Structure 1
Amino acid sequence: MLEHQKIFRIFQLLARLRTPLGCTKADIKEDFEVSERTVERYLSLLRNIGFHVESHRGRYRIRSLNEKRLQVEDLITFTLEEAQLIKTALENQQVKHPLQQSLMSKLYAMAEMPELTETIFDQSVSNNISLLYHAMKHKTQVVLHNYQSLNSGTVRDRLIEPIRMYRYNRYLAAWEVEDGMLKEFKTERIEKVELTETPIRYSASYGNYGVDIFGMTGEKSTIATLQLTRRAFLLLSEEFPGAEKHLTQKNNAYLLKVPVYKWEGIGRFVLGLPGEITIIAPDAFKTYVKNKAGAAGI
């Protein structure tokens, strides 16, 4: 993994751990597609830096930074060597240097500000996202250079037709020309986006496909109806942009009525908030969640 991707991943993890309910190890494993041992290393690293990583009933959360570990004057200044290291990292996207740990500590500590953890993107990632939006606007194909796929274990170029970005631009739904199928790509795994002048050609193949607010794709959607507590409502609005238009409020409860293509996406959300969500319909989704909960021992 490139250095800029590692930094971006840590900021993503900090953002997750700073949410009101935090997250479980299983959440981290699934979201970042890493082993439990890697999750343990991430949590240990954050503790060593000075973050208070708390655990309650299997959920991990960061409340504050140990101020004795990093003083304010250590956070707001950089040495000339560290400044040069930042410049080198941005220009080359890959760097190894003895001062890296010092720099990383300050960057992580700065992430104590919630707004920073929500908006920090590496320069190259931001540029890639901008190019993808340009291609979608002008309906042209693009090449994803050196895309790193964990599913196939390959790193190669992909010619795609971008369809939609979601989850704060972390994911891209696109038609891959070579394989002739709809796929999901993580923007942080794209080394470089190259625009082409070739108009999209395969919209007839995926024109009937949709992407729900949970990132699942398909041709035929099913309406799922849930009753949410205020806490669940706030987390849904925070994690899944666009959910608001599917919500109505009645007294202190919130009703979500949303089209979904697969149970996996909405199921992860429901299972992550036990006692906060009541499934009203359909029965097939109730059965899915019941079976998953039983298998997980929830």
Structure 2
Amino acid sequence: MKYGDSWTRSRVLSQALRILMMIQSGKYSVSDIMKIQGVSRKTVYRYLDSFREAGLDINYSNHIFSLNRSEGIEGDLTDLFLFSPDEAVTLYNALDVIETNTLVRQKLKDKLMSIYGAHVVQEKLIRKESLHRVQNLMFAIDNEKQVILAGYSSPNSSTMRDRLVEPFRIGPDNEQVWCYDIDSGKCKTFKVSRIQEVQITDKSWRFKHMHVSGYTDPFRMISNDGRMLPCRLVLNRRAMELLREEYPLSEQYIQQTGPDQWLADIPVSNYIGIGRFVAGLLDYIQIQTPALQQYLRQYLHRSLDKL
């Protein structure tokens, strides 16, 4: 077996399951699946062909795919697995008190998230003081409602004021939300921790055609226009484990290439987040991206000047 084959196979199976569960819901088009799962149209149709070859009867009507219930699949597909959604949440919560390797615990949580979906276990990732705000944002997104971000504190303008927005996507770890800001007529990200209260209005979305989310990289850096920069690193085991522990979303971009060598080919919004990580582990990381090398030279030079 080649290095990384087991991880790749697990990733493909997890992705296939998520797509199958979306089809089962009967609410998503191919374009929706492409956007939510981050895959190409060709990939979606390849999975559809595989499902049909496996004997599933997949219907297509009004641009929406669904499963034919006559095939004997009753209820939710998660009922076919070891845990029910309630059991998955209980297990997820219990993992926090188990004394085990941090990476192992995080991988188990990630698997529960990928199989049972964000709405089932996502609340366990949210601090209690943010829970109500995130719940209201999720409700507004699901029901396509405008909301008021009451008392939003902006670090750029050093002001605190209400914002009327159309939220349409929750970011990684529920730390930010992508919204269409009606006052400015632009899509922006807002930090959930800086919102005092999310007030749901009775007004439906008016600018859905303007909803365009940028890119949030595994280091939680945001690109508002969706542009990504290349970042290619060669890591030893120590650097690889620290990267996956501190930034779990980076795991999908890591591939083992030798007994003590991993390749991380990660698209990033900018070099700020990845630069901070690499700067502390220069003895364990080979940088193969010239632009990142140049950024780090400038970053370290500025840091030394402050001493």
TM-score computed with the length of structure 1 as normaliser: 0.52
Q: Write the distance in 1 (CA, Å) between the matches of 2:169 and 2:286.
A: 30
Q: Verify: 1:126 aligned to 2:134, yes or no.
A: no
Task: Work out the percentage of aligned pairs sharing the same amino acid.
Answer: 31
Q: Write the distance in 2 (CA, Å) between the matches of 1:136 and 1:244.
A: 28
Of residues 223, 241, 256, the one that matches 2:264 is 256
Alignment-mate amino acid for residue 220 of structure 1? R
Q: State the secondary structure of the residue aligned to 1:185.
A: strand
Unaligned runs of 5+ in 1: 1-110
Of residues 150, 168, 176, the one that matches 2:173 is 168
Instruction: For residues 212-231 of structure 1, give each alpha carbon's deviation from its aligned partner in whole angstroms, at most 9, with x where no partner exists.
Output: 22332133223321122333
Instruction: For residues 81-125 of structure 1, give each alpha carbon's deviation from its aligned partner in whole angstroms, at most 9, with x where no partner exists.
Output: xxxxxxxxxxxxxxxxxxxxxxxxxxxxxx9x999xxx7965341
Corresponding residue for residue 155 of structure 2: 150
Instruction: For residues 132-160 of structure 1, give each alpha carbon's deviation from its aligned partner in whole angstroms, at most 9, with x where no partner exists.
Output: 22333334332211112222111111122
Q: Write the distance in 2 (CA, Å) between the matches of 1:274 and 1:294.
A: 15
Q: Write the distance in 2 (CA, Å) between the matches of 1:188 and 1:296.
A: 29
Q: CA-atom RMSD, angstroms?
A: 3.1
Q: Write the distance in 2 (CA, Å) between the matches of 1:124 and 1:287.
A: 41
Alignment of 1:162-201 (within 5 A): 162-201=167-206
Q: Retained in 1: the 8 A contact 2:172–2:216? A: no
**1:184: Cα distance to partner?**
3.1
Alignment-mate amino acid for residue 126 of structure 1? L
Q: State the secondary structure of the residue aligned to 2:227.
A: coil
Q: Retained in 2: the 8 A contact 1:124–1:192? A: no
Q: Write the distance in 1 (CA, Å) between the matches of 2:129 and 2:261.
A: 42
**1:270: Cα distance to partner?**
2.2
Corresponding residue for residue 68 of structure 1: none
Corresponding residue for residue 78 of structure 1: none
**1:163: Cα distance to partner?**
4.1
Instruction: For residues 197-248 of structure 1, give each alpha carbon's deviation from its aligned partner in whole angstroms, at most 9, with x where no partner exists.
Output: 4343444445263332233213322332112233332333233342221111
Indicate how the Cα distance of structure 1 residues 179 and 288 shifts in structure 2: closer, same or farther if over 3 A, else same. Answer: same
Unaligned runs of 5+ in 2: 1-96, 103-123
Corresponding residue for residue 235 of structure 1: 242
Indicate how the Cα distance of structure 1 residues 242 and 135 shifts in structure 2: closer, same or farther if over 3 A, else same. Answer: farther
Of residues 207, 216, 225, the one that matches 2:222 is 216
Alignment of 1:259-270 (within 5 A): 259-270=267-278
**1:290: Cα distance to partner?**
1.6
Larger % of helix: which?
Answer: 2
Indicate how the Cα distance of structure 1 residues 285 and 202 shifts in structure 2: closer, same or farther if over 3 A, else same. Answer: farther
Q: State the secondary structure of the residue aligned to 1:146.
A: strand
Q: State the secondary structure of the residue aligned to 2:135.
A: helix
Q: Write the distance in 2 (CA, Å) between the matches of 1:238 and 1:167.
A: 15
TM-score computed with the length of structure 2 as normaliser: 0.51
Larger % of strand: which?
Answer: 1
Alignment-mate amino acid for residue 135 of structure 1? A
Q: Write the distance in 2 (CA, Å) between the matches of 1:195 and 1:255.
A: 45
Q: State the secondary structure of the residue aligned to 1:213.
A: coil
Q: Retained in 1: the 8 A contact 2:168–2:211? A: no
Q: State the secondary structure of the residue aligned to 2:174.
A: coil
Q: Write the distance in 2 (CA, Å) between the matches of 1:230 and 1:132.
A: 39
Q: Retained in 2: the 8 A contact 1:167–1:239? A: no
Indicate how the Cα distance of structure 1 residues 122 and 287 shifts in structure 2: closer, same or farther if over 3 A, else same. Answer: closer
Alignment of 1:1-298 (within 5 A): 123-207=128-212, 209-214=214-219, 215-217=221-223, 218-250=225-257, 251-281=259-289, 283-297=290-304
